[in-house]
Amino acid sequence: MAIILHIDTATEHGAVGLSDGEKILSSRVTASQREHASFLQPAIADICKETGVLLKNIDAVSVSIGPGSYTGLRVGLASAKGLCYALNKPLITIGTLEVMARAAIKSEAMSNIPVYEDTLYCPMIDARRMEVFTAIYNHELKQLEPPQALIIDENIFKSYLITNTIIFSGNGALKLIDMVEKSNVRILHIEHSIADLAALAYKQFENQVFADAAYCEPFYLKPFYTTSIQKKKY
């Protein structure tokens, strides 16, 4: 087994957790997107105190790399890279949409609703206005459509809906409620958890798939723009 510290601040719900293999030993969550930066370090200290695990004894750090909130992604990756440098531990990066898709697949598997092999999973992150960050996965979490930024309309993923059922999830999927009315469309109201990140990160750890902490950057998907502050003229 491997003791891995997990950080996820890509969406509105921030979380950190400590796992042994896929088993979550302890976790902390915040629902306030504005508090991600101030939440992380005290939360990490809390879970280490609760479990008795010293940071120097962990085997790796994993982080949700994006897409998602620009600020959240920077905060999460900066914290993860800082810990990896300080502790000399490997960094594992996991796509946020893959984490969300796994949560949807797991939720369906635990429900009493039949799930068929032609069922597809489409996580969506709200990207302002009618735009979302999204991708499509099959029931084995194989990526069929890569992460992309799309404007939602009534024809979204129309070609897949001809032969497949699509389960949409995430806060971006709420934009579809009054737009897509088909029998083979379902909108799943769930939140992914640190356990979903942990399961994917452990697989990468087993396969020794690590990111380069020196050059790794957030997966923004869209260019990051910032406005400069205009100085007042007196």
pLDDT in tens, 15-36: 999 999 999 999 999 988 778 8
**What is the number of alpha carbons within 13 Å of residue 135 lying toward its C-beta?**
22
Q: Helices (DSSP H) in 88-220: which residue ranges?
A: 96-110, 158-161, 194-206
Is 234 part of any domain?
no
Predicted local distance difference test score (pLDDT) of residue 234: 44
- Same structural domain for residues 106 and 60? no
> How many domains is the chain built from?
2
Strand order in the sheet with 14-20: 23-30, 14-20, 3-8, 60-66, 91-95
Q: Which two tokens stand for residue 25?
A: 């030993």
Pick the closest to residue 140 from 115, 158, 114, 161 (CA basis). Answer: 115
- Same structural domain for residues 92 and 108? no
- Same structural domain for residues 107 and 75? no
Predicted local distance difference test score (pLDDT) of residue 183: 81
End-to-end C-alpha distance for the chain, whole angstroms: 64
Residue 178's domain is classified under what CATH number?
3.30.420.200
- Same structural domain for residues 184 and 114? yes
Boundaries of domain holding 154 = 97-188
C-alpha angle 83/76/189, rounded to 5°? 135
- Same structural domain for residues 28 and 64? yes
Predicted local distance difference test score (pLDDT) of residue 195: 97
Q: What is d(CA 77, CA 62) in angstroms, rounded to the nearest whole number?
A: 9
Predicted local distance difference test score (pLDDT) of residue 224: 57
- Same structural domain for residues 91 and 129? no
Neighbours of 91 (CB within 10 A): 21
- Same structural domain for residues 147 and 171? yes
pTM of the model: 0.92
- Same structural domain for residues 196 and 86? yes
- Contact at 8 Å (CB) between 94 and 201? yes
Ranges in the chain, pLDDT < 50: 227-229, 232-234
- Same structural domain for residues 105 and 182? yes
3-state secondary structure of 169: strand
- What is residue 183's DSSP assignment? T
Residue 84's domain is classified under what CATH number?
3.30.420.40
86-103 confidence digits (pLDDT tens) = 999 999 999 999 999 999
Going by their DSSP bridges, the two strands 131-137 and 119-126 should be labelled as antiparallel
- Same structural domain for residues 46 and 108? no
- Same structural domain for residues 124 and 201? no
Is 226 part of any domain?
no
- Same structural domain for residues 101 and 91? no
